[in-house]
Amino acid sequence: MTEKRETIPWDALRERTLPRLERRDLDRADKERCDRVRRAMLAMQRASWEQGVAAQACLEEGDAELTILMAREAVLRQGSDGRLAQLGNDPGITDPGAAGEAVIFAALATGDASLARGAERMLAFFLHEAPRSASGVLLHQIPSSYGELWSDSFYMAPPFLALAGRPKEAVEQIRGLRNRLWIADRQLFAHRYSEGRACFVREAAWGVGNGWAAAGMARTLSYIPAGMGMEREELCRYVREVLFGCLAHQRGDGLFHDVVDDPSTFVETNLSQMLAFTIYRGVAAGWLDPALRPRAEGLRSAALSRVDASGLVQGVCSSPSFDRPGTAAEGQAFFLMMEAARGASAGMSP
């Protein structure tokens, strides 16, 4: 069977090396806290998207060695169809793309052809093999006859597609997801939509799902070229809308309910981290007003209060079912990404 690959414009990416973020020195307490959170993250079992988001945390922190190790593991466990970081019978279609950014950066840093091949196989799966809706949007999981679109997918595929030289496809994926999942009168994203049934499977505005959308579009913006100015402004507008839509429901303690606009649901931690990351990233990149940075600081303070002595971020949507408060690799990773993005935005004040 011929291996399917899709060319990535490696020469154009040569200048993108593993990031060395210019950020303030962490004080001792912050450094020790991040060390505990990172250690706990690495101790956790991880599904494909969890491996991806953990690798992204290493990438954001500028840890080249750990990023490369995480990328190698994602490629080692690449499926025959090109999906990265496979364990067992993984139904995820877009989830494996979360590891793609780290694999590309690791390939650039090492010159390892096996890593480059792994990234190109992941890209080929998205472009040629992955099931899509009638309008061309990647389905979230291996479909039944009622294939679904999930808000999680904002984060999983578009950033990788944009970095891999397919920014127009990345924007089209975001537009397609938003067309199905955005609830304009609530200014929030629903969680799941069935293409086959033409209705919501879960109309609830899941907090972490809105966080995936905001953070995913923020990451995608990092890779949309300056020549696509209209598309960049479009994505900036989408991020601002969901950001303010969520912030309208922030609790007095800085956290949110699991379903953002339903106070009967449990109090959840990770959305605060995801939105703080998004704000810090947007402020540092210049597409969010620096006046929002204090809001990120408040979100961060709420998250800090949820880190226990073992470095576990408590109260996030808990693995493996994500329907109750507890701990999860993605909660650990977003704490680290929040801290790295905060450092990159230091000095960006109103």
pLDDT for 17 equals 55
pLDDT for 347 equals 61
C-alpha 284, offset from chain centre: 18
CATH number of 137-342: 1.50.10.10
Q: Where are the domains of the chain?
A: 41-130, 137-342
pLDDT for 191 equals 97
Q: Is 139 left (phi over 0), alpha (psi -120 to 50) or beta?
A: beta
pLDDT for 21 equals 41
Q: Of 119, 73, 70, which Cα lies nearest the Cα of 97?
A: 119
Q: Do 190 and 254 touch, CB atoms closer than 8 A?
A: no
CA distance 26 to 46: 28
pLDDT for 2 equals 61
Amino acid at position 243, single letter: L
Place of tokens 């694999």: 103
CA distance 46 to 327: 12
pLDDT for 23 equals 44
pLDDT for 35 equals 95
pLDDT along the chain (350 residues), means of 10: 79 70 66 95 96 96 94 97 94 96 95 97 96 95 84 98 97 98 98 94 97 98 95 98 98 97 98 98 95 97 97 95 95 97 74
Is 112 exposed, middle or buried, given 0-12, 13-18 or 19+ CB atoms closer than 10 A? middle
CA distance 244 to 132: 30
Note if the pTM is more than 0.75.
Answer: yes
pLDDT for 145 equals 67
Who contacts 8 (Cβ-Cβ below 8 Å, separation ≥6)?
Answer: 104, 116, 119, 120, 123, 164, 165
pLDDT for 54 equals 97
**Does an H or E element contain 199, and which?**
strand 199-202
